[in-house]
A and B are shown apart, each in its own frame.
Chain A
Amino acid sequence: MASESADPLPHAPESQYTHTLPLPFTNSDLAVLTQGAEALVYRTTFLTPHTPCVLKYRPPKPYRHPILDKRLTKARLLAEARVLVKCRREGVKVPAVLGGDWEMGWLVLEWIEGRTVRKVLDEWVHRLGLRARDGRDVVDLADEVVQRDEGEMRRLLGLMGRVGRAVGRLHEVGVCHGDLTTSNLMVRPPGDLQEPGPERTEDDLEGEIVLIDFGLATQTIHEEDRAVDLYVLERAFAATHPAAEHLFQEVLRVYGESFKGAKVVLKRLADVRLRGRKRTMIG
């Protein structure tokens, strides 16, 4: 797994500093952006000095047999790159593949400006000051605050709708993400104003949804895989904040209308909720 947006593990098996980057990055002195279980993610430039990009490097695993390690690294990088190119062809918003070398274990992807849905939601929660102080249910409190600010709610639901549509489009073209969390959904600021710029508070709910981290993605049209994608996302919403959980209904509503097979997936989601992500395999 390569959750590039996941928090760095407190007891990561290998320190990021012990790795020598492969050619041509060996002498580039790059700082690690995040670290997943299998990949190290750096920010750098590629092709031109003003093209920011993400470098994803899967270092060799010392605990694996070298031949097996090479094969797995190659297969996983290739799968990720193929899925991204496929999505891009079909107009699904994902980072472009700018370069890569499977033998050496690196992949260079387009830099996506903006912040993660996770961050946007966290900040929203923080902004509303949703604290269950006098023992009241936070969800009730959220509804109350939300009703006071209709505009904010409308924009928030708009964002949820765009999440639903983005996931729907992805599933429609025959791809399941495999690790669909709020950290793997980016909100890209609208227009050409994609400079990191000063803190934006007013319009940070605007912008299009870009899906990132396809390290676990598969090309599949099974409703089970699609339902599991939604289930994982639902859990991610629930984990963010109790108040964010009910927002997920809007994600599902728009998802359900986004493509032909979506309704069946929502039915399957109900089954997945009962049993969890892992299916019992009997017989």
Chain B
Amino acid sequence: MAKVRTINLPHYTAYPVHICMFKDVKNAAFLRKQLLEANPEFDYAFLDPTMILTPQHILSATLLSLHLHLTSRAKTRTPHSELVFRLHPNNNIGESYRKFGISDDSDRIIAVKLSLTPEITNESVGQHLGSVVEGESVDVGEGVENVGMWCDVEKVKKVYKLDSNGGKGREGGTAVNGNAPTNERKEMEAVMSGVITLKGS
């Protein structure tokens, strides 16, 4: 049984979001194969934790995916693939999966599952993932505050084209740079939610 945290997004409380994290994963190749074969049992968003910066980062992409899915404007087949797609600033689904999805040798994974039907609950997700993911479940935290703990900040900066100098540098740059890491992440996520929102427009 994996430790799953369930989040209620304001305004979409009817569709809870289940998130869990694994380390020392041995069967990423198997999980990825299920995704490629579109096995309906494995309709999850499996994400690379090095690419997830903060709760706001993952939740803004999740909310938009859910919203687009429910209003029939999603670009991909499921809200879970939409989430992987939404995270990347570009409009290329394959590239999104390469950057934000898992690879055959991933040993750390974030799994996201949207409750689109009432049968999908914290328990059902925990049970299923606990049985199919060969790895150690790690607590995401009550407010999923740990989602960013394995983040590779430089990699994220590159994908979202965030210069470490905050654009042209100068005055504003020092605000982005040179501050405590939490502050840097706050500044980064502020731009990233905007980029995710503006994607494809």
Contact = CB atoms under 8 A, between A and B. Distances in A.
14 contacts: A24-B11, A24-B12, A47-B59, A48-B9, A81-B197, A89-B166, A90-B167, A91-B166, A91-B167, A93-B175, A96-B194, A99-B197, A165-B171, A173-B168
Interface residues of B, number: 38
Nearest to A23: B71
Contact of B9 (A47, A93, A110): A47
Contacts of B195: 85
A87 to B, nearest CB: 9
B200 to A, nearest CB: 10
A44 B10 contact: yes
B55 to A, nearest CB: 7
Contacts of A110: 190
Contacts of B181: none
Interface string B162-196: 10001110111111100000000001011101110
B143 A48 contact: yes
B39 interface: no
B131 interface: no
Interface stretch (A61-69, A100-108, A199-207): A100-108
A101 B176 CA distance: 28
A92 interface: yes
Given A96-B190, A98-B193, A99-B193, A85 B10 contact: no
Contacts of B93: none
A138 B140 CA distance: 61
Interface in A39-79: 44-49, 51, 78
Nearest to A47: B59
Interface in B107-130: none
Contacts of A47: 9-10, 55-56, 59-60, 63
Interface pairs A-B: 3 shortest CB-CB: A91-B172, A96-B190, A85-B194
A78 B194 CA distance: 11
Contacts of B166: 89-91
A92 B162 CA distance: 14
A120 interface: no
A47 B63 CA distance: 7
Contacts of B156: none
Given A47-B9, A81-B197, 10 more contacts: A24-B11, A24-B67, A49-B8, A84-B194, A85-B191, A85-B195, A96-B193, A98-B193, A98-B194, A100-B198
Nearest to B167: A90
B92 interface: no
A100 B201 CA distance: 11
Contact of B191 (A24, A96, A172): A96
A110 B190 CA distance: 9
B191 A88 contact: yes
A45 B11 CA distance: 8
Given A23-B67, A99-B64, A89 B162 contact: yes
A97 B167 contact: no
A210 to B, nearest CB: 12
A82 interface: yes
Interface string B52-74: 00011001100110010011010
A48 B55 contact: yes
A226 interface: no
A67 B198 CA distance: 22
Contact of A102 (B10, B190, B201): B201
Nearest to B189: A96
Contact of A88 (B60, B64, B73, B194): B194
Contacts of B194: 81, 84-85, 88, 96-98
Contact of B56 (A44, A51, A169): A51
Contacts of B201: 78, 102
A169 B70 contact: no
A18 interface: no
A85 B175 contact: no
A173 B169 CA distance: 11
Contacts of B67: 23-24, 101
A89 B197 contact: no
A15 interface: no
